[in-house]
Amino acid sequence: MICILVLLRHYTRVLYVDIDVHHGDGVEEAFFTTNRVMTVSFHQYGDDFFPGSGNIHSVGEGLGKFHSINVPMKPGMNDETYVPLFKNIMNKVIEHFQPNVVVVQCGADSLVNDKLGNFNLSTHGHGECVNHMLKYGVPTILLGGGGYTITNVSRCWTYETAVALNKTLDNNLPKIENYYEHYNPDFKLHLTVSCLFRLVFEHFLGETSCGKQKQPRIFTGNRNTML
Ligand SMILES: [Zn+2]
């Protein structure tokens, strides 16, 4: 919010994009009544998931009407379902709002196997959203955010720093003393999303991206119980 307040001294229109698994409630509320800031939050919603706000009908008020966009989603979103949705929505947002500057909140709790979030994004999928925002060629600030499986947070933001710098990183992590063992057992930069996690999404899609039809499974809560 402070970042956006400073940007408003210099730019007419600021776009805030939030891919943290939680609703960006604080930023939305701060700019709910202005048409100079558009907030777009992609988040898990329902079943009392924190913070509980961010339904699709929350669009702003007064001058700010239709300048708050919420994309509430059920658990299990993965690269195949989340990333195309993200790109389609952001293309329209950029076309209509035409921001002078963009702030992206890159919360890593939307990654697979987060301790709080129940999305199944890989580091590639999460980074693709960041990369997509950079492709618009609008000055962009990337921020961190939530993330509760710490080794995945460091993986994600390391990769996205490389994306921003247009650099390619080796998927094998460097053997840095005191830290390397935290990345046991695979010692890789990128996260892989197992079929087990993909199957969660069958409930909503009707078929699995793992290749064969299975009986619907319903997500039941804490991901750790599924591992
Ligand atoms: Zn979060």
CATH number at residue 168: 3.40.800.20
Backbone angles phi, psi at 35, to 5 degrees: -100, 10
Q: What's the gap in Å between 121 CA and the centre of ligand 1? A: 14
Q: What's the gap in Å between 213 CA and the centre of ligand 1? A: 32
Q: What's the gap in Å between 13 CA and the centre of ligand 1? A: 25
What is the count of structural domains for the chain? Answer: 1
Alpha helices by DSSP H, listed for the chain, are: 2-7, 25-30, 79-97, 123-135, 150-164, 195-200, 202-205
Cα–Cα distance, 118 to 24 (Å, whole number): 16
For residue 86, name the pLDDT band (cuts at 50, 70, 90): very high
Q: What's the gap in Å between 118 CA and the centre of ligand 1? A: 11
DSSP state letters, 67-106? -EEEEEE-TT-BHHHHHHHHHHHHHHHHHHH--SEEEEE-
Q: What's the gap in Å between 95 CA and the centre of ligand 1? A: 27
Q: What's the gap in Å between 194 CA and the centre of ligand 1? A: 22
Cα–Cα distance, 217 to 53 (Å, whole number): 26
Per-residue confidence (pLDDT) for residue 193, from 0 to 100: 82
Task: Copy the structure tokens of residue 148.
Answer: 């509760």
For residue 172, name the pLDDT band (cuts at 50, 70, 90): very high
- With a CB cutoff of 8 Å and minimum separation 6, the contacts of 161 are none
Interval 185-218: pLDDT, tens: 999 999 988 755 555 555 555 555 555 444 433 3
% pLDDT > 70, the chain: 85
Q: What's the gap in Å between 212 CA and the centre of ligand 1? A: 33
Instruction: Map residue 129 onto helix, strand or coil.
Output: helix
- The model carries a pTM of 0.87
CA proximity to 102, closest of 73, 131, 139: 139
Which chain residues have CB less than 5 Å from ligand 1, an ion? 20, 22, 107, 109, 146
Q: Which range marks the domain in which residue 17 is found?
A: 2-226
